[in-house]
Amino acid sequence: MQKTFIVSACLLLAACAQIKTPEPVGYSEAITRLWSSHHLQLQNLTHWTLNGRIGSRSAFRASSASIQWQQQGERFNIQLTGPLGQGALSAKGTTDYLEVHSATTGKIESSNPQQLLDESLGWVFPLASARNWVTGNPGMARKDLETFTLDSKGRLEHLKQGPWEVHYHNYRKTGNIYLPHKITFKDNDTKIIVV
């Protein structure tokens, strides 16, 4: 299924342009310039919608669902729907607060979004980081960003951040920006694919 990003309200205040772009090491000046330009576009991407499919696999469980993720600044709304509409789950909030709705649990709220989402899904989903990763952004010069590689057009190809490795399989142009079309997140226990 084709993933679509709808981009709106993308410009930040001039002060936000001061955000430090993670520096690529060992690339030509041309690739470094492409990366800096692309990363600035990603930093300005604050409102978007992702429609696609998500699958996860661990030693004990495999699942897949349709995903609709709306991000508006710090607020998000994620809808997951299993095959034939079964197993629907809605998660909305911020990195500090999460509200989950599902047919099996009803409404649950928490000030620990990561823990509640992991318990609700039955698998680990790196919520705070994935918000950036799904747009091809490693985040803002984070201290746990160990390494990243770029493709020939200055876009993320692979990154290692904390326990997670993220692979970008291809990009598609949406509006005036190239965004990932297929992404794999992997840690020691879980593999997640977003298409």
Would the pLDDT of 25 be above 90?
no
Q: Is residue 15 part of a domain?
A: no
What string of DSSP letters covers the chain? Answer: ---EE--B--PPPGGGGGSPPPPPSS--HHHHHHHHHHHHHHHT--EEEEEEEEEEE-SS-EEEEEEEEEEETTEEEEEEE-GGGTT-EEEEE-SS-EEEEETTTEEEEES-HHHHHHHHHTS---HHHHHHHTTT---SS-TTEEEEEE-TTS-EEEEEETTEEEEEEEEEEETTEEEEEEEEEE-SS-EEEE-
Structure token digits, residue 5:
């990003």
Q: Residue 140: is its pLDDT beyond 80?
A: no
Give the CATH number of the domain where residue 98 resides. Answer: 2.50.20.10
Q: At residue 139, does pLDDT exceed 90?
A: no
- The answer to whether residue 188 is domain-embedded is yes
Does 7 score more than 70 pLDDT? no
Mean pLDDT of the residues in the chain = 85
Q: If you average pLDDT over residues 88-117, what whole number do you get?
A: 93
pLDDT per residue over 42-58, tens digit each? 999 999 999 999 999 98
In a domain, 63, yes or no: yes
Q: Does any domain span residue 52?
A: yes
As a whole number, mean pLDDT of residues 63-89 equals 91
Domain range holding 48?
4-10+20-194
Where is average pLDDT lowest: 88-97, 137-146, 172-181?
A: 137-146
User: What pLDDT, on the 0 to 100 scale, is given for residue 141?
Assistant: 53
Q: Kindly report, residue by residue over 107-122, the tens digit of the pLDDT.
A: 999 999 999 999 998 8
- Check whether 87 has a pLDDT greater than 90: no
33-42 mean pLDDT: 94
Residue 126 lies in a domain: yes
Portion of the chain with pLDDT greater than 90, in percent:
68
For residue 156, the cross-strand partners are 150
User: What token pair was written down for 18?
Assistant: 């001061």
| pLDDT band with cut points at 50, 70 and 90 for residue 5 | very low
Give the total number of structural domains in the chain: 1
Amino acid present at 12: L
Contact between residue 81 and residue 65 where contact means Cβ atoms under 8 Å apart: yes
What digits encode the pLDDT tens for the residues 170-192? 999 999 999 999 999 999 999 99
